[in-house]
Structure 1
Amino acid sequence: VVSQAIELGIPAPAFSSALAYYDSYRRDSLPANLLQAQRDYFGAHTYERIDKPGVFHTEWLAK
């Protein structure tokens, strides 16, 4: 349905949003790295990495 709507130029935001939710729901790990980076930048929250154990914080404006 979503691909047909896209091909015909018909906006279908609810269908495409539902498809994106379903696609992310069935993944093993969710792509939340952008959200974690924004939280760390604006509020000095920490984040975890999948390649190293531990909790990290980055000084985003450090030169």
Structure 2
Amino acid sequence: MIAVCAGWECLDTEDRNIEAFTYSMTHNDENGYWAGFKAAQRVLEKHVEPWTEEDIRSVWWHRVSGE
């Protein structure tokens, strides 16, 4: 990104993320931002546990009781 974004080294983490995302969307993912995001998402999805009936009942109870 240093080669395509003037002032890259002066940006904070959030601004770098926004700049990399914008560049990716306007340049057919030339920098691999979207590909990296999807790869990370696939890995993280392996660690997501499905909701149990107990979880669902707990959420429902909190909404109904106002807690």
TM bracket (short chain): 0.3 to 0.5
- TM-score, normalised to structure 1, is 0.35
Higher fraction of strand: 1
